[in-house]
Amino acid sequence: MARIASLNLPSSNSHRPQPPSTAARPPPLPAATATPTPASIQSTIAAARARIEAQLKSQGIQPAPPSHPTELHPMLRGDYKPKHSTQRATLPVSSIKANQQKPKLKITHETPSLTDPTQNPYFDPSLTRRTHGPQTRRRHKQFHFAEPGQYVEQAERKRAEARMEQLKQEIAERAELARLEDEVLDASAIQFVEPPQVEWWDAPFLSEASYGSDAKLEGPDSLCTIYIQHPVPIEPPLAIRSQGVAPAQLILTHKERKKIRRQRRLEQQRERREKVMLGLLPPEPPKLKMSNFMQIMANESVPDPTKLEAEVRRQMQARQTKHEADNKARKLTKEQRHEKIEAKTKADEEACLMRAVFRINKLEHPQHWHKVTVNARQMHLTGTAISCPTGFSLVVVEGSAKNVKAYKKLMLRRIDWTMSQNDQGSVTNDLTSNECHLIWQGEIDKRKFRQFKQHTSASETQAKKWLMRAKSDELWQLAKQYDPNDSITALDPFA
């Protein structure tokens, strides 16, 4: 408060002593609160000003009127902020004229624009960034890696746009050529083709080119005959034939197998040469033979050619012996060979189990009996061979598809059923009309016979009873009804 009073005193009377005044002093100012408000501050200033004016009047000094309104001190306004604040505090305004700053001169004329080429002839638009502010240091460019397929996609898009533009151009050229833009198609412009008098599929069956003419259903030039055209059977795909099971491995031809073997051996030789060049393996000695040992030993002196020839023959014999020993070591024994065949047969049976039924007019010759029985057992087939003197003979075999196919070739091609002379030279019954026919073949779920057996029946009843043990007595009736001259019941044995 003392500072405010000193600011309002005139500078001329500040050094004069003040006599004691007899006038009544104004009441003391109320105590300032902890947080003064603008209203209380204004009232305090007004009271202090009134007290000072009263003192000056008592001394006969006329106080000078204030030249301009006095502003409040920033700390008295209540909005003072410390120096560390982000906003700058408002500076106090002095009430003394001597301390007041002189007003700055303002330039009234307009400054010409530096970026306007009409006002600044030295302005270069290409250097705009340099003329505005200080020149900044150029930053280093960073790597920007393109995403995979980004430029491929852009190229495809451009190609598609080019194709579209080309297509539009072609359509416009065709439309202009045909003058379709000015023409309007209506229903009257469409011409319907009249149907022909006779269709091409009916023309061969008509005597004239008219449906009212007589039909050509008989005669040498007619397409209608007494024969029935049967469609050619087509083999189903392998996946269907093998009941949906794909082959375990790809079957290659002989040339393909040789090519793969040649490539594999070349690769092995290349690897061995590389190891020899690196010093991992010792180099192989030269392979001496009678045809090349003179070329190999040409640079060496040979005191005894006979001894050298003997050495070459010894090496040749050693190589031959080693080759035979390796083959013998890889050769399977008799037991191993049988095990391999059985395993292969078992695998084939699991894939597909087949049955074939043969009808023979007469099965009496000993050689026929031997070939039928021994081949069936060697091919791991089960079934039976029944001979009936009063009727016909029946052979039933079961096994893998491969073995059954080989057995069909034996029964239908290899065996001569008309042979009537045995090993002793004696002649049996006349077999000139003896034949063998395949009456049924197909897949089965399991075997009905445990092994292959021979049986001779005196009558058809005994033959049926023998087949009834394997629950296959219907096969005898099927063979009895078979007619080899009937084209419907005849089967293709190797289909």
Cα gap 309→237, rounded to integer Å: 63
Is 375 or 351 the better-scoring residue by pLDDT? 375
pLDDT over 70 at 321, yes or no: yes
Mean of pLDDT values over 199-214: 87
Confidence of residue 133 (pLDDT cuts 50, 70, 90): low
Q: To 5 degrees, how large is the angle CA 146–CA 150–CA 152?
A: 130
Rounded to whole angstroms, the Cα distance separating 307 from 302 reads 9
pLDDT tens across 42-68, in order?
A: 888 888 888 888 888 887 776 666 555
pLDDT at 223 over 80: yes
d(CA 215, CA 167): 54
Q: How confident is the prediction for the chain on average, in pLDDT? A: 79
CA distances from 341 to 1, 287, 398, 403, 421 (A): 127, 39, 17, 12, 35
Residues comprising the chain, all counted: 495
Rounded to an integer, what distance in angstroms lies between the CA atom of residue 370 and that of residue 364? 11
Q: What is the pLDDT of residue 427?
A: 56
Residues 6+ apart with CB under 8 A from 98: 11
Does pTM top 0.85 for this prediction?
no
pLDDT digits (tens, 9 = 90+) for 8-44: 444 444 444 444 444 445 455 444 445 667 778 888 8
Residue 282: strand, helix, or coil:
coil
CA-CA distance, 171 to 41, in Å (whole number)? 91
pLDDT of residue 23: 43
pLDDT band at 5 (very low <50, low <70, confident <90, very high): very low
Higher per-residue confidence, 243 vs 350: 350
Tell me: the pLDDT tens digits for 260-290?
999 999 999 999 999 999 999 999 888 889 9
What SS3 class is residue 397? Answer: strand
Summarize the confidence of residues 101-110 as an average pLDDT: 61
Task: Report, as an integer, the average pLDDT of 346-375.
Answer: 91
Q: Return d(Cα 117, Cα 121) in angstroms, integer.
A: 6
**Residue 222 above 50 pLDDT?**
yes
Q: Is 386:457 a contact under the CB 8 Å cutoff?
A: yes
Q: Which ranges constitute the DSSP H helices of 203-304? A: 238-241, 254-278, 293-296
Contact 288, 318 (CB under 8 A): no
| 142, 135 contact by CB (below 8 A) | no
Residue with tokens 């795909």: 237
Quick one: how far is CA 493 from the chain centroid?
45
Quick check: 411 pLDDT over 90?
yes
Give the whole-angstrom CA distance, residue 97 versus residue 89: 23
Strands (E) located in 392-435: 393-400
What's the rounded mean pLDDT across residues 444-470?
90
Within 59-81, residue ranges assigned H as helices are 74-77
Residue 3, judged by CB atoms within 10 A of its CB (0-12, 13-18, 19+), counts as: exposed
| Helix ranges restricted to H, 250-379 | 254-278, 293-296, 305-330, 334-351, 366-378
DSSP 205: G
pLDDT at 146: 84
Q: At 428, is the secondary structure helix, strand, or coil?
A: coil
By CB atoms closer than 10 A (0-12, 13-18, 19+), residue 383 is buried
